[in-house]
Amino acid sequence: MAAAAALDPKDAAAQLAAANEAARRAADARFPNAFRGASFSVPVRRDAKIQEAREGLPILGAEHDIVDAINHHPITVICGETGCGKTTQVPQFLYEAGYGDEDCLDHPGAVAVTQPRRVAVTSTATRVAKELSVKLGGEVGYQVRYDKRVGASPRIKFMTDGVLLREIQSDLLLRKYSVVIVDEAHERSVNTDILLGLLSRVVPLRAELAMEGRPGITPLRLVVMSATLRVEEFVGNKKLCPTPPALLKIAARQYPVTVHFARVTEHGDYLNAAKKKTLAIHKKLPPGGILVFVTGQREVEGLCDKLRKAFPKKEKKGAGEAATAGREATPPPDDDDDGDGDGDGDGAALDAAHAPTSDAPGSRSRAEDDGEDDGPGYLHVLPLYALLPPTLQKRVFDPPPRGARLVIVSTNVAETSLTIPGVRYVVDAGREKRRVYGDDAAGVGDGAGAASASAGLSKFEVGWVSKASAEQRAGRAGRTGPGHCYRLFSSAHFVNELPPHAPPAILGVPVEGVVLQMRAMGIDRVGRFPFISPPSPAALDAARKTLAILGALAPAAGAENRKYGHFGSFGADDDVGVLTEVGRAMAALPISPRHARMLLAALGASPSGGCLAAAVATAAALSVDSPFLRSDAKQSDATDGDAPADDEERKRRRKLAHKFHHPNSDALSAARALVAFDAAGGVDDPRAAEKFCVEHRLHGKTMREMSDLRRQLLRILSKPPPSDPAASSLEIGAPGETSLRRALLIGWADRVARRSKPSDVREKYDENDNTKATRYKPAMLDQNVFLHPSSTLHRSAPDYVVYVDLMQTAKRPYVIGATVVDAAWLVDDAAALTSLSSPLEEPAPRYVRARDAVVAFAQPSHGRHRWELPLHAVPLTAERGGCGAFAAALLSGAVSAPMAEFRDKLAAKPSLCARPEGKSQRRVIELIHALRRRNVASRAALIEVWRREPRYLMPEVRDWMKSGMGHAIERAWPRIVSGDAPAPSSSNADDDASRGRSRVPSASVAGGTEARAALKAKRREAEKRAGGGGTGGGKKRKTVVNRKALGGGPGLSIWD
């Protein structure tokens, strides 16, 4: 083969064969006798019709070459366009070659096949089981996120790439598999990139262990299948593949497709251009389905309406009447509407803005294109996008009605995932919608993109597709016969402006989830991992900081572990941190790190109560798109028989939808809708669930996705209770609501925003922004943001909110999923972003009996803007100066009750021990020195010392007595040490509180409100005469104190 290639260098086939032969020799040199074929065959009896259909697939002629390459190479790359049959046939080739058969000693392990999409997994597994004449769930099975049909010992197992990643965490060597097939690798999803990097290390490791003779271990083979020729990044990556893989190219079953470019690229109103081209095809070209590619759900629905009105299902109209119908077609809604939701691919909350409507230069008049209905019939127009319910998606595979032409208006979901029969014409607008983060979303280039992405800033923008995507779209016209593709851009634009391939997903998204999963696998130096396209160092650093803020990472051993104000940094640049127990628990949950952290926080707040159940519902609701339909959106889940709703019906449904709104949280609103959906039947009763969604203006497919995820999380965390505690916990004002909102704050600790005061707003958002909407300032960003128009928080306009996402639109950035939080919560629940000052002199430190500790007050400041929060109480140990406040509490009777008898017999006020002027007095110095010598600053420590030395502190306390009162303290000292309360007696004539109680016995017995108030007033007056506050002498300073941190208001007084 090598000689043939040398004689004819231009012979691509000969060159490929020579390269594969060299790859085989390299594999044999590195792994001698490890990868060899086995003379094993499994007979399969197929149905005659299935066999006839298989014989028409191009890949069937390459079966021998494929099996031979897999047998003799550790890694094999198969490149074949959609339609060649690689997805369904390659697993069958291996099945017939004995892979997965327990009797075949060379490769008894099963064949694992991964797909990026769940629908592809289930449909492919069903097809392969049918072609092999076996039962699905036996020798052929599948496993996806919410569904599993796998036998005890399957030979072929289809799964999503995420499922296989989970299996690698528990078994790095993947011992139960002989071959792993990674399909659709050209899509370059995040999971696919990580999986390929891991398998590139597992394959040689398995081969080396097999060569050593380890029992039960055979070589593992990796097969990478791609629909495009984008394999250079994998084949030519020496770091990823030190041993070159075998490369096989399979021709697709493709009819010729004629590509027509526009003379002028349509940069403006490409929707109108797509409509004109579609109508021209309908009127002038032979029968055949038309597939139109646009960007998002709103464009799909808007263009469908226009096309239906242009050629409706009715009697022929006159030319002028038809032209009027075309001209009066309702345009798509204004794209500056901030409530727009896309949902294609990545769960958009808002659509990006489109260009203004304008006619393309040189185009024919609208009347000419929308004129007489002289086509072959009316247009049978169907939408197709990711969030369309499955029942409506399946309609595109049905033949159109008699006398009608099929038109499918689709997003890029029809680019590779589906093959639609009968399509002969493709109209390609050349655009797609993608989500961008950080600087790209903000439209700035200050280098803070990673920080902006971590703070949640993103937007959806419409951009040009890649050349590979354009070719994929054109190929859709040649599946069943010769076809035509009409591109709304010029050939020069195609050659010069379109990138060869779309950027990998891992380069455009935050990667904290990737980093967490890899750290859970023991990969500490993520930057050294063999990514096909490695993330930028800034993205990896931002992910590490985010995980540190969430508590998943901590400094390495020996480094200072600060709780407050570290902002995700560990000090040393080379310190990547260690995974904490919280981090390991987060990695075990099949959701993003933020959602997992919120669940763990709720679990800690209420291990068995309703807070956890409500948090599970909230996590499931926040993991997918918003289920609430816009007021102008179509009810896509309605059945075809539903009559159009009148105004009264729409008002009634809108009122029903509003009943889920939570006044303190947009995030909890979606959770309440989910709980009600499950109570109405959920996925167990599709008919009732569909009716529920129509009644309450909810998106059915999104609700089903949320319900499935909720069930999965409940199975992982706990057994579902017989009743649903989430329903009561999500009610407005429920006892667990505070814990739930604090759990949301812990999960999104770096996404807090504060309402801007009028004095703080010096500049408008832009020169055309005259809005009076309430502005918020994110803690980690410098720009103003706004509550989303659909938010339930507009009326209350809270001071602080935590948000889930920050969406940049053409008008302004909006916070999505906002929840009201208390400023005092930020100190503990967002401690990484909160700095504490040194202990303040005012308010002075004090002893809190409820805590049995001395506390001082510090001034917290939060975020990069240093927002001042309410004063926070911090423990003050004996080493840090807590002895003074404890001495004041001891003398006042707060530590031992019998000391209260001697309040008026003290020579000085107890508060002198905690004040600067008292440090010069002998009695103060000696008492504090005695406490500090034994590190006593709590009642528990004092009792421990008293057990060994009962007379400890008696001389120092006696010096505090007035002249002649020392003997009294000596007699009472045993009671002071034991803490026994004084016996009720009138001998203590100076005890105003006791006298107060004896003077009003009748009122106390009567239980009157006035009597109790008088008693409290007398006790307060007695406390004032006895020393008044203990440590609060001097001029009072007005301060805001976090009383909840001290266990309630009374905890602030040393008398309690």
- The secondary structure of 923-976, three-state, reads HHHHHHHHHHHCCCCCHHHHHHHHHHCCCCCHHHHHCCECCCCHHHHHHHHHHH
Do the beta carbons of residue 534 and residue 515 sit within 8 Å?
A: no
DSSP 233-275: HHHT-TTT-SSPPEEEEE------EEEEE-SS---S-HHHHHH
State yes or no: pLDDT of 491 exceeds 60.
yes
What residue spans define the domains of the chain?
A: 31-250, 257-430+465-502, 510-587, 593-633+647-747, 883-1052
State yes or no: pLDDT of 520 exceeds 70.
yes
pLDDT bucket at 643, cuts 50 / 70 / 90: very low
State yes or no: pLDDT of 612 exceeds 50.
yes
Mean pLDDT of 72-89: 88
pLDDT of residue 563: 85
Do the beta carbons of residue 213 and residue 182 sit within 8 Å?
A: no
SS3 content of the chain, % helix, strand, coil (to 5): 45, 15, 45
The percent of residues in the chain predicted with pLDDT above 90, rounded, is: 38
In this structure, are strands 860-862 and 867-868 parallel, antiparallel, or unpaired? antiparallel
pLDDT of residue 926: 92
Greater confidence (6 vs 512) lies with 512
Say which range, 49-58, 231-240, 891-900, 1018-1027, has the weakest mean pLDDT. 1018-1027
Listed residue (375, 244, 360) closest to 310, CA to CA: 375
Residue with tokens 């504060």: 754
* 124-178 confidence digits (pLDDT tens): 999 999 999 999 999 999 998 888 899 888 999 999 999 999 999 889 999 999 9
pLDDT of residue 355: 29
Greater confidence (717 vs 499) lies with 499
pLDDT bucket at 931, cuts 50 / 70 / 90: very high
**Mean pLDDT taken over the chain:** 79
Structure tokens at 1005: 């017995």
State yes or no: pLDDT of 384 exceeds 80.
yes
pLDDT of residue 519: 92
Specify the CATH number of the domain 257-430+465-502.
3.40.50.300
Amino acid at the residue 625: D
What letter would DSSP give residue 860?
E
State yes or no: pLDDT of 863 exceeds 60.
yes
What are phi and psi for residue 487, nearest 5 degrees? -100, 135
d(C-alpha 929, C-alpha 723), whole Å: 60
Orientation angle between helical segments 610-622 and 737-747, nearest 10 degrees:
40
pLDDT of residue 417: 57
pLDDT bucket at 654, cuts 50 / 70 / 90: low
Mean pLDDT of 804-827: 91
State yes or no: pLDDT of 47 exceeds 80.
yes
pLDDT of residue 579: 92
Mean pLDDT of 221-227: 90
pLDDT bucket at 625, cuts 50 / 70 / 90: confident
pLDDT of residue 645: 53
pLDDT of residue 372: 40
Give the residues across from 460 on adjacent strands. Answer: 435
pLDDT of residue 382: 95
Mean pLDDT of 722-750: 80
Q: Which residues contact 844 (CB under 8 A, 6 or more apart)?
A: 885, 911, 914, 915, 1031, 1032
**Alpha helix positions (H), 467-592:** 467-475, 491-496, 512-520, 537-550, 581-587
State yes or no: pLDDT of 187 exceeds 70.
yes
pLDDT of residue 812: 87
State yes or no: pLDDT of 802 exceeds 60.
yes
Say which range, 50-59, 77-86, 116-125, 231-240, has the weakest mean pLDDT. 231-240
Residue with tokens 């008492």: 927
d(C-alpha 36, C-alpha 575), whole Å: 45
pLDDT of residue 410: 93
pLDDT of residue 1026: 39
pLDDT of residue 1055: 29
Distance of CA 411 to the CA centre of its chain: 24
State yes or no: pLDDT of 758 exceeds 70.
no
d(C-alpha 1043, C-alpha 857), whole Å: 11
Say which range, 182-191, 234-243, 473-482, 806-815, has the weakest mean pLDDT. 234-243
Mean pLDDT of 553-562: 73
pLDDT of residue 560: 61
pLDDT of residue 752: 95
Q: Within 13 Å and on the Cβ side, how many CA atoms surround 578?
A: 9
* 399-456 confidence digits (pLDDT tens): 999 889 999 999 988 886 567 888 999 999 999 988 888 765 555 444 455 556 667 7
pLDDT of residue 606: 62
Do the beta carbons of residue 636 and residue 699 sit within 8 Å?
A: yes
Say which range, 57-71, 198-212, 318-332, 892-906, has the weakest mean pLDDT. 318-332
d(C-alpha 512, C-alpha 593), whole Å: 7
pLDDT of residue 475: 86
Structure tokens at 18: 């020579």
Structure tokens at 737: 């609501």
pLDDT of residue 18: 87
State yes or no: pLDDT of 644 exceeds 70.
no
- Residue 870 parent element (H or E): none
d(C-alpha 532, C-alpha 506), whole Å: 10
pLDDT of residue 930: 93
pLDDT of residue 289: 94
The reply to whether domains 31-250 and 257-430+465-502 share a CATH topology is yes
Specify the CATH number of the domain 31-250.
3.40.50.300
pTM: 0.79
pLDDT of residue 619: 93
State yes or no: pLDDT of 1023 exceeds 60.
no
State yes or no: pLDDT of 633 exceeds 60.
no
State yes or no: pLDDT of 761 exceeds 80.
no
d(C-alpha 273, C-alpha 138), whole Å: 51
The percent of residues in the chain predicted with pLDDT above 70, rounded, is: 77
Greater confidence (768 vs 222) lies with 222
What letter would DSSP give residue 665?
B
